Amino acid sequence: MRIPVMDAEMRQLMPTTPTRARLLLKNGQASPYWNKLGVFCIILKKEVEPDNQPLALGIDPGSKFEGWSIVGTQEVVLNGMSEAPHHVKKSLEVRRDMRRSRRFRNCWRRPARFHNRLRNKKSLPPSTHARWNAKLRILDLLRQIIPITDVVVEDVKAMTKKGTKRWNKNFSPLEQGKTWFYAEIMDRDLRLHLKQGFETKGFRDELRLKKTSQKSKKTFSSHCVDAFVLARSVVGGALTERGLYYWTPIMLHRRQLHRFQPKKGGIRSPYGGTRSMGLTRGTLVRHPKHGLSYVGGSSKGNVSLHNIISGKRITQNAKVLDLTILTVIRWRAQFLPALKGGVSLRI
């Protein structure tokens, strides 16, 4: 896997090899950096005039998992697999029920808003917007560290029903979401390429690559294989890397008015928030005992630390003075190296 590189002015340069990145860090010519995706990269301590080659990002969209692959004219730069958010619909239902229960307890009712601010305005359903906006955020975070020039997306189609006016491609959330996503990509001055599903299969068969039917499996053959062949169809690189990053969005407990269930005496204590002892929750830190972890909640003047791979809480009693603050992350990242044998395929 290549290591992303930026110069002193935070301009994206061509990624380098891990060996050369270690040498630059050892000689003091670069400093380490993690972006919000949890991808490790290096920042040079001098300005360098960019001499970048075309890099294409292939995206294999899915309902639960997404495939990502950045390919150059010679080799693979980065592979990734991400989980799509599915908590929005349930969260909105809980928020609605809590709002109704508060109105019932307080014996008052808010007057109806006839001049609704969203009326007669185009908007995506919340769950649809969350899924497609997550793809857009990953794209933006990758562009911050890698000079991507082209984006290749498999153009998924919504199933339509004949003889009905309530369900067709004009009203399908899938069609609405992808149309919004394509428009956002073009607004970023990226060259957008759309491929059909049968074209993706043709590219796969041409390279004699297999795709597993286990969509949740954290391997290259589950989703990244389609993302790779899509990107390769534009720049023509070789399959030199099957390892991948697995990204999971960090779920923070946003601030609420109070807890859902009262304590003894009917007291409802405040709950949630995005700050812990002056630190932003999700901050990547280094602890003398627990190593790399990210900040969660707080209790009795200390903060809790969570594992950057599983998200499980490691401790609740970490002192702020013992932490080395690195950066803020919004996704848990796990790098899964490829198995030995059959790693490289040159065409």
Q: What's the pLDDT tens digit per position in 23-72?
A: 999 999 999 999 999 999 999 999 988 889 999 999 999 889 999 999 99
Distance CA 248, CA 118 (A): 31
The pLDDT of residue 166 is: 57
What's domain 53-110+124-249's superfamily in CATH?
A: ATPase, nucleotide binding domain (3.30.420.40)
Cβ-based burial of 261 (10 A; exposed 0-12, middle 13-18, buried ≥19): exposed
- Per-domain residue ranges of the chain: 1-52, 53-110+124-249, 251-336
pTM: 0.86
Tell me: pLDDT of 343 over 50.
Answer: no
Mean pLDDT of 260-284: 85
Residue 339: which pLDDT band, with cuts at 50, 70 and 90?
Answer: low
- Interacting residues of 2 by C-beta distance below 8 A, sequence separation 6+: 15, 16, 17, 18, 75, 76, 77, 78, 241
Strands 279-280 and 275-276: antiparallel
